Structures are given as structure tokens and as C-alpha cells.
Amino acid sequence: MTIFVILTLLVLAAVSIALLYFGRPYWAWVGPVLLGFLVWRAGGVAYSLLFKMTAILAGSAAVLFGLPILRRHLVTRFLMRAVAPFLPRLGDTERIALEAGTVWWDRDLFSGDPDWRKLLDFQAKPLTEKERAFLEGPVEELCGMVDDWEVSKTGDLGPEVWEFLKKHRFLGMIIPEEYGGLGFSAQAHSLVVTKISSRSLVAGVTVMVPNSLGPAELLHHYGTKEQKDYYLPRLATAEEVPCFALTEPEAGSDAASPRSTGIVCRGNYRGKEVLGMRLNWDKRYTTLAPVATVIGLAFRLLDPDRVLGDKKDRGINCALIPADVPGVEIGERHDPLGVPFQIGPTRGHDVFVPLDFLIGGPERIGQGDRPPGLAVAGAELSTRVAGAYATVREQFNMPIGRFEGIEEPLARIGGMTYLMNAARKLTAAAVDAGERPAVISAIVKAYLTEGMRDVVNDAMDIRAGAGIIRGPRNILSRAYQAIPIGITVEGANILTRTMIIFGQGAIRSHPYVQDEIRAVEEKDLKRFDRAFFGHVGSVFRNAVRSMLLGLTFGRLYRAPVEGKLSSFFGRFSRMSAAFALVSDTAMVTLGGDLKRREKLSGRLADVLAWLYLGSSTMKRFVDEGQKECDLPYARWACAHALYKIQVALAGVLDNLENRVAAWILLPFIFPIGDRLRPPSDALGAEVARGLLEDREARLRLTTEIYLPPFHEPGLGRLEAALDRIVEARPVEKKIHQAVRAGKLKKADRKSLIAQAAAAGVITADEQQRIQAADEIRLEVIQVDSFAAKKAPALQ
């Protein structure tokens, strides 16, 4: 009978675990209840009393916790008071951020059980014929007009470039056609910016800002009819050039605490007495401010005389201020590391404007907004340059790309470029589908600009001395100079990572936390009961999922598609469950203090970000037909993302203040230890060889950038050299084989080629081909030099 009880216990325990894995946790009580019932019926067993008591307790708990109407009155009303102190308290900045944007795939990642089929079924809207024609026409023409080296010397785009931008409505890409804009999708906008930025960062920023950080988007979504009818047509044609003034000396990432103010009062505006506001501001880092004619201004509106109602503080607002209003100071420029795009400060002293200048009018007082942005061009340009240069440049009679020391950074360049563009495509597609994914936008901004930093640095290392000599031949120097700009624009990456991504994501994207917070604030017992016990259930499910998937390396998970990347779906699902479990534990043990534990929240942000980047990679690979030539890049990117997730999770467990909780978590998160490793040397070599030898794969990685004509210094000549060298490879092979066979004597390269031609090893045409390749190879490895100016002491 004892054996019967033990076997029954094991079977029902397995059933309970399975129910926890697939269903609601209360069902797991079924196991102990049935076990107790069977033992009870068996009778005569020494342990029957113990099991009877277990069955009674389990059954009582199942009834108490399984029936919501009973649970709410006997348990939840006490729990609600006990849990309230542990829930995060929302400040003004967080509350504003939570009310803006939407939640999308980030909710699935936070749930611990992402619905991969939903992600794979989601498809980007294709570009329209008009968008394709614009990319192939005006965008190509613009890139051909811009000489980035000249721009760096003169400090601005030329007048003809500015005129071209206005004529073709580059500054009005997101403005609807009904208002005279181009009405482009987010996907088209990002492709335009990527291509232009690969040619000139200055031109790219000039086009990007009015279409992402400018007032046009705010006007389109929130403006009054009168504001839209007046401003949008003028913004579309660049008759009005906008800027968006947000950052201040004492208010940067904390956008909800500006020192800029507007005081509600009556005053005279252009000959008429109106109800308005007297504004004072001191803004900096405002892109396009030196050339702007209208300022989108973020400020706090105060109503000390309660003209508008009972409240004195009317919150954060955004208004459109004409640059020619008395009291406005504008026109000065900053110098951002020598990258001469238009950026500068703007100040206002007692500037009086009507309340109607508020975006949305007085009716939208207190409902400010802040748009997001993105970037990829530097990575693709680096991939193109590094792959070509590592083939063209030779040392010790072989291309430098053949050295393992160069293979390593080449692998990072190829893998990261594939991953970054995957995230760009997916995020833009989500925006086109009507989403405004705030947390994902923050991830893309921070981690893609960090990725660009790594990729450009690797490409600069490969270029070595040729990378640090400025001039027309050096196409990476401007991208390298601009790296810190991308890191800090739209919020410094440090704060985005440590405060915004997980700080907002833990509330916005979590399936239950925001409901719990709202329920406590509103004292809604029913809502809190539903959210809290749903949360408890997810904790149990994720604990079981994380352990089982960890023990089986994700093999227990059934992938939504077959293919050579299918095993990664289970691995990322395992990490999603682990992330959800660790996040819940951190929130429970630290409560509201978690947002001040920025090192921990930064590591949790790393996990969420790499889950998203890995998801994007798998979707891109599947969407593009699982091509064999893309497989090394996709595998490298997925392995890299998983390793980054493991490192971040281990960092959280190592530093969680509640050590008991960390020890309890460890077997669920790493049941067989932290076994994941970064991409192997062999996989890295495969990626590097693809960049060097597989022309199709290299082109597919860099389709979005601008390719200049072959005669142009820099990338144009480098591409021409690569083509010549690839054409000459069969000739090289013939000569090497002849030397090994003893048909030719070893000699310097020039003499060896002449020998080969004289001996009939190669034809005269082949001789010309290899000589032409050598000539252009020598040309493109040169660096720029300029007439020296003697120092005064030497004259």
C-alpha cells in the first residue's frame, strides 16, 4: 500500500506540474486532493490520517483561492492593504510616459510565454509605388548632390541642397497628403533617413528631425483644425522650418520637470488684447533651432490667478511659438564634435502669445507628448566598408580579412548589422500598423545606437591608420565623430537603459502590475483580486516553464515553424519565462525602491532589450524565406542575444539584496548552470567569410545605403577596387599554382606577373586584369594629405 501511495504521489505531482506549465495554478491543488481522497478510500494505511488532513487542507485552499467571490472577501481585502506599500509609486514623469504610446510585443515578452505565431503572422505593410519612386529618385539624387567632406569644411549643407530638400518636401514626409505632405509610412521614413545618413549624417539629421522630433507629428495627432490647416501645409513645403525645444540646463531626461514656464494672463498680441501666457525659457541642444521659423516649446503652464479654473499648476504643455515674436532669442549654434548639423540654443524672455498657440488649443492643457526616433545607417556603412577593405588590403601577401584577428570584429559587424536592421524593420512596421510602442522605441533607440558604436569602432579598428586620417577618402571618420551624438540625442542611453526601459516596461508592459497599481489607487477590490491572483498564477507558471525549458535547453518547446533556426524559439521562450520570474521577484523584494536600484533595473532592461532584438532577428529570418546565405548572421545574432540575456540575469541574481530570494530563484533560472556561451569562433569565421566571399549576402546586409559612383573617392573607389580584385582572383590562383608546381620562380609581384605572362601561364588579357586590380588596390589604400601650414614659430 505504501508503494501504491508513493507511485500515486509521483504521478499526481507530475500532473500538477503539467497543469502549472499549461494552465492555472489553482488546478495544481487537484493532485494533493485526489491523492488524499485515494488514500482515504484505501483505508488501513498507517499514513492515512496524515493524507486525510492533507486532503482536507488542500481542498479547503482550492475552494478558498479558486472561488473569486469567496476569495475577495476573506483574503483579497487584507492582501490589498498589505501589498500597496510594495507597489511602485508613479511620479509625474512616469505618469505622463505611461499615458503616452501603446503596448505591443513587449507585453508578450514580459508575460513569460510569448506568442511566436502572433509575431510571425504580423506582416509589415509593403512600400507604396510612390515611396519606392521617392527612394529611387529624389533620395538618390540628393545623395549624389551632397559632398560630406565639403559639408564638414563649410559647416552646412549648400544652398542648392536646402532648396532641393524644400522642393521635394523631404521635411514633410510624415505630413498627410491632404495637407501637402508626402504621407509616407514609418518604414519609408526610416529607409529614407538610413540611405541619406549613409551618405551624410548632417543631411540625415536635417531630414529626420522634422519628421520625428518636430511639431508636425504633434500637430497631426493633437492640433486643432485651425492649427493643422495653417501650419501643416507650411511645414510640408518648409515655408516654416520647425524645431522642438525640450532640453534645458537643469531638465534633460527628466522631461516632466522643466524650469521653462508660462504664466496665464491677459496681454497684447499684435495689436489685440487676448487671454494668453507669458513665457520664459532657456533651452539647448535644439536641432534646427538656428534656422527654425517656428519653435515647438515644452514648458510648465501656471495659472496663479486661477483664470482657467481651480488648479494653479496646469502641467506640462507644448506650444508653437513663431521665432519672430518679441523676446525670442534664436540663431546661435552649438558645435557637436565638429559634425555641422544645425543645432543650438533658444531662449525666451517674457514672450507673450495667445493660449490658442498651445498645440490642441486650451482644451488640451496639461496633455504634453514626446515623440521617439531611430538609426541604422552607420552599421550598414561600416559593414560595406569593412568587408571591402578587409578584402582589398593585404599584409604578408594575403588579404587582412583572412587573419583571425580581423575575423573577430568582422563577425561582430556582420551579426550586429543583421540584428539591428531586423529591429528597425519590425519597429517601423509596428508603427505603420497603428502602434506607438514606447518601451520598444526606447529599446531601439538605446541599443541600436550602442550597436552602432560597437560596429563603427570595429570597422575603425580594421581600417587602422586609414580610419583616423580625415579627408574625402575616409568615409567612416564622420560616422565615428557622430557616435556620441546618437548616444545622447532623444535622451542619454545611460538613463534610457537604467530608468526608462524597465522602469516603464515593468508597469506598462507587465500583464498585471499596472492593473494592480490602478486598483489600489482607485480602491477597486474586484480589479485588484483579478490582477493579483492572475499575477500569482503567472509566477507559478513561469517558474515551472523556466526550469523545464532550462533543463531541456528549450527542446520541450514546440517551435511555430520548422527550419534551422527553430530551436531558438524555445531558448528565447525559456529566457522570457526566466525574465518574468526574476522581474516579479525583484519588484516584490524591492518594491518601490527598485526604480532607485538603477544597476539592477539596467540589467533587467538588458534582458528585455535582447529578448526584443533576438525576436526581431528570428522574425526577419523567417519573413525573408530562411535563406541559407543569411543563416550564419541570424545564428550569430541569436546566440549573441541569448548570451547577453544570460549575463544580465546572472548579474541580477548576483546582486539581488534579498539573498534568500536569489538562492531560491537560482535553480529555476539556471537549473544546470549558466551554460550559454557567446557565438563560437567557428560561427564567427563563417560570418566573416560571408562578408569577404559571399557577394549576395554582403549586398543583402547593406541594401538600404547609398552607393556612390565608382569614380568617387571613398566608398565608390573602394567598391570599384573590390570588383576588380574579385575579377582577378582566378588569375591569382593560376599564378600561385604555377609557383607551387615549379613552373615559375618566386619573385616580387610585378616580376612574377611578367614571368607568368611570358611563360603562357596567363593570357595578355589576364595580365592586364591583374595589373589593373593591383593599381586600384594601391590607390584605395592611400590616405588624404593636404598642403602644410607652418606653425608661426617655424616661419
Q: Which residues are catalytically annotated?
A: 490
Torsional sign, CA 404, 410, 416, 418: negative
- Here the cell at position 225 is 483644425
Instruction: Round the CA-based radius of gyration of the chain to a whole number and report it.
Output: 31
DSSP string, 157-175: --HHHHHHHHHTTGGGTTS
Compute CA 620 distance to the chain's CA centroid, rounded to the nearest angstrom. 15
Identify whether the C-beta of residue 263 lies closer than 8 Å to the C-beta of residue 278.
yes
d(CA 228, CA 161): 27
Secondary structure letter of residue 111 according to DSSP: H
Coil/strand/helix, residue 265: strand
Nearest alpha-carbon partner for 252 in 447, 596, 494: 494
Q: Which amino acid, residue 293?
A: T
Whether 246 and 174 have beta carbons less than 8 Å apart is answered as no
C-alpha cell at 432: 505603420
**Reduced 3-state DSSP string for 487-542:** HHCCCCHHHHHHHHHHHHHHHHCCCCHHHHHHHHHHCCHHHHHHHHHHHHHHHHHH
Contact 168, 138 (CB under 8 A): yes
Q: What Cα–Cα distance (Å) separates residue 310 from each residue in 96, 304, 307, 411?
A: 21, 10, 8, 62
Residues 6+ apart with CB under 8 A from 178: none
Which sign, positive or negative, has the C-alpha torsion 579, 581, 584, 586? negative
For 490, the grid coordinates are 532623444
* Strand partners of residue 281: 348
Residues contacting residue 774 through CB under 8 Å, at least 6 positions apart = 749
**CA–CA separation, 23 vs 536, rounded Å?**
13
Identity at 768, one-letter amino acid code: Q
272: part of which helix (H) or strand (E)?
strand 272-287
Written as one string, the DSSP assignment of 379-428 is: HHHHHHHHHHHHHH-EETTEEGGGSHHHHHHHHHHHHHHHHHHHHHHHHH
